[in-house]
């Protein structure tokens, strides 16, 4: 009986053919695995994109205008899903809005988003009062016994008739109320970051949105944008731009602020999500023009 070595000597071509077939088989196997991984990745990206669209719809309207007020908001995620969020609702004729920041980015933050927004809307509907609502949210978070990401937010209730704003700030960057002549009020009153301190106290602040006044609420992602030298855009520069741009309509102001931050960082990628919310009370002439155009 011929040995393997003898067979290889007699038929050297068959050995080469087998080797080539093995290589082709391995290559096909690798190509199939890569194709499968690509399909899985495409499906994951598609699912994340669809989830991001749902998240944005749950955040409420990007823009709306009433007889006396104009409102614009937007979230700008670093990845598909954002840890920053915005929610808007009507309550007994008042406008309630919240802007928040859940620590982290991507899927984890996106999963907590729906839980937080649902809880906030439920507590606001029950209590009406921002501080009372956040006290209840804070207590519920601590009672879950689940380790959850740190969350800050600014919650406010506006009376359209009077312009009164009742607000509560839970460890969030203070919203800025920019008066017609450029003076700025920082809306700080509230309490600590949610779900950190047992028995934390939350209090309301009260202010008034007069005609031509603009309220800007934002997440820290815009102030913490860094340029190529590692220098932050910063709250002072944000405030300067906000004062300069406050006469614009809210939508134009919002995207102009984002553009200013983007120009500052240049080619460097953003590291954090950004959320912006702008609310402006129209002047009497603007209201008259609006009524004339509708007539």
Q: Are 168 and 202 in contact (CB under 8 A)?
A: yes
Given a cut of 90, is residue 31 above it in pLDDT? no
Q: How many other CB atoms are found less than 10 A from the CB of residue 81?
A: 23
Distance CA 27, CA 18 (A): 14
Average pLDDT (236-264) is: 95
Grouping H, G, I as helix, E, B as strand and the rest as coil, residue 279 is strand
Given a cut of 60, is residue 49 above it in pLDDT? no
Worst-scoring range by mean pLDDT, 11-20, 98-107, 188-197, 277-286? 11-20
Given a cut of 60, is residue 289 above it in pLDDT? no
* Assigned CATH topology for domain 59-294: Phosphatase 2c; domain 1 (3.60.40)
Given a cut of 70, is residue 288 above it in pLDDT? no
Given a cut of 70, is residue 53 above it in pLDDT? no
pLDDT on residue 294: 47
State residue 106 phi and psi, 5-degree precision.
75, -145
Tens digit of each residue's pLDDT (9 = 90 or more) over 65-107: 988 999 999 988 887 677 789 999 999 999 999 999 988 666 6
Grouping H, G, I as helix, E, B as strand and the rest as coil, residue 235 is helix
Average pLDDT (221-232) is: 93
Higher pLDDT residue, 45 or 112? Answer: 112
pTM, rounded to two decimals: 0.80
Tens digit of each residue's pLDDT (9 = 90 or more) over 153-194: 999 999 999 999 999 999 999 999 999 988 999 999 999 999
Distance CA 238, CA 130 (A): 26
- How far CA 178 is from CA of 79, 187, 242, 280, in Å, comes to 31, 11, 8, 9
Compute the mean pLDDT over every residue in the chain, rounded to the nearest whole number. Answer: 84
Residue boundaries of the structural domains of the chain: 4-46, 59-294
Worst-scoring range by mean pLDDT, 54-58, 93-97, 262-266, 273-277? 54-58
Tokens of 286: 């603007």
Q: If pLDDT is split at 50, 70 and 90, which confidence band does 29 have?
A: confident
pLDDT on residue 270: 87
């Amino acid at each position: 009986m011929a040995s393997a070595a003898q067979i290889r000597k007699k038929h050297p071509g068959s050995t080469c053919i087998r080797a080539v077939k093995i290589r082709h088989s391995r290559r096909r196997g690798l190509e199939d695995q890569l194709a499968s991984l690509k399909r899985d990745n495409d499906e994951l990206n598609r699912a994340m994109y669809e989830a991001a669209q749902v998240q944005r719809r749950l955040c409420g309207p990007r823009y709306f205008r009433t007889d006396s007020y104009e409102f614009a908001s937007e979230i700008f995620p670093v990845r598909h899903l954002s840890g920053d969020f915005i929610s808007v609702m009507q309550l007994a004729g008042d406008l309630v809005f919240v802007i928040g920041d859940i620590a982290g980015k991507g899927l984890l933050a996106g999963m907590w988003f729906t839980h937080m927004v649902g809880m906030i809307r439920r507590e606001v509907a029950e209590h009406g009062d921002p501080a009372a609502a956040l006290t209840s949210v804070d207590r519920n978070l601590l009672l879950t016994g689940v380790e959850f990401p740190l969350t800050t937010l600014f919650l406010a209730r506006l009376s359209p008739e009077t312009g009164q704003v009742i607000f509560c700030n839970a460890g969030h960057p203070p919203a800025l109320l920019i008066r017609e002549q450029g003076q700025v009020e920082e809306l700080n009153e509230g309490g600590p970051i949610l779900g950190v301190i047992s028995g934390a106290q939350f209090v309301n602040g009260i202010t008034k949105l007069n005609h031509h006044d603009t309220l800007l609420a934002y997440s820290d992602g815009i102030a913490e944008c860094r340029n190529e030298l590692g220098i932050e855009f910063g709250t002072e520069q944000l405030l300067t731009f906000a004062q300069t741009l406050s006469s614009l309509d809210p939508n134009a102001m919002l995207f102009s602020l984002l553009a200013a931050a983007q120009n500052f960082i240049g080619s460097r990628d953003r590291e954090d999500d950004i959320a912006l919310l702008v609310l402006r009370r129209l002047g009497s002439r603007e209201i008259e023009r609006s009524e004339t155009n509708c007539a």
